[in-house]
Structure 1
């Protein structure tokens, strides 16, 4: 008998998908549910970051409002959910500055009118509330990704415990979710069950 023929169940139980990739697929699927709030925040962050003058004006407003956040506004890569998480986490800390900039910056008001023609608007109070709920929910996925994503060490020993924790989190979130996150967690759970 050749060694190649002596395998357990023709390798069916040996192949393990990349856990970080599975998490990415699950979260991207869930984010499709609340894309409008994310798009509104993304558009206002994009506007502020589009020129050094706008960014300087935004920084002046944050100093005037005494917002004690030192994190820099960043624009996400829509296909990478963790960059969306970071963008939203930083942007929500500057909510008052964005609202003040809408009042003071004529260019922003004009840009928002253009967005309104495309069916978009500036983030409103509901969007910021949605973003805060989303950040709290996604923090778990971000933290688990940071724990298992490593290129200088093996993470196979973490796989089962993290997978179990992910399953438990999704199951509880589906049971406890109301309103905003209910459809999102249901989509994520369906995607998780597929893998």
Structure 2
């Protein structure tokens, strides 16, 4: 369809001869970038996912989880959320809530012999690191998804914000964050490198 439109309109009518006339869906590109980055820490994600799944699988387990929150004086304001493996934004939401209850999971492993998927300290640290970084992407994807007509003045500054953040993450002391940033930058540059240089 784009080719047909371009055939009917003179290239001189466009800025830069129509070079940027067809832009891919920004939300889709953002999803590709984040999914590539998350592939680096799939083990830590899986541990948290297994734990959340275990405690949300039945109403009885959920009740035990809430009781343990009460025993530790941790208010159960946010319900545990199990993510959908193919939706990174649901993984962000899962992390965001699960991190609040880290101590509860630790207590429950002592009380429930069948619960075998407690994330390690390292897994929790990675979850915090990733959750903190995904917050930027979550805000951007919310912006992209909340409007029917996303125009360049709405999304361009956010794309630049993402690029600046990714460059900063490449210098993070955590090698995993560096690897994640490098992977994400490669995907970013594949689609948007030409517009942010």
Structure-2-length-normalised TM-score: 0.85
Gaps of at least 5 residues in structure 1 are 113-120
Q: C-alpha distance in 1, partners of 2:45/2:84?
A: 12
2:37 corresponds in structure 1 to: 30
How far apart are residue 24 of structure 1 and its match?
Answer: 0.6
For residues 8-58 of structure 1, the C-alpha deviation after alignment (integer angstroms, 9 at most, x for no partner) is 488542111111111110000000001101100100110111111000000
Q: Secondary structure at the match of 1:176?
A: coil
- Which residue, 89, 103, 106 being the options, matches 2:110? 103
Q: C-alpha distance in 2, partners of 1:143/1:13?
A: 25
Q: Does 1:180 align with 2:187?
A: no
Q: C-alpha distance in 1, partners of 2:64/2:76?
A: 16
Q: Does 1:144 align with 2:140?
A: yes
Q: Is the 8 A contact 1:69 1:93 kept in 2?
A: no
Gaps of at least 5 residues in structure 2 are 1-6, 192-197
1:77 corresponds in structure 2 to: 84
Q: Is the 8 A contact 2:92 2:134 kept in 1?
A: yes
CA RMSD of aligned residues (A): 1.8
Q: Secondary structure at the match of 1:107?
A: coil
How far apart are residue 170 of structure 1 and its match?
Answer: 1.2
Q: Secondary structure at the match of 2:170?
A: helix
The change in CA–CA distance for 1:129 and 1:5 in structure 2 (over 3 A counts) is closer
1:193 corresponds in structure 2 to: 189
2:64 corresponds in structure 1 to: 57
Q: Secondary structure at the match of 2:65?
A: helix
- Higher RCO (C-alpha 8 Å, min separation 6): 1
The change in CA–CA distance for 1:51 and 1:193 in structure 2 (over 3 A counts) is same
Q: C-alpha distance in 2, partners of 1:69/1:150?
A: 29
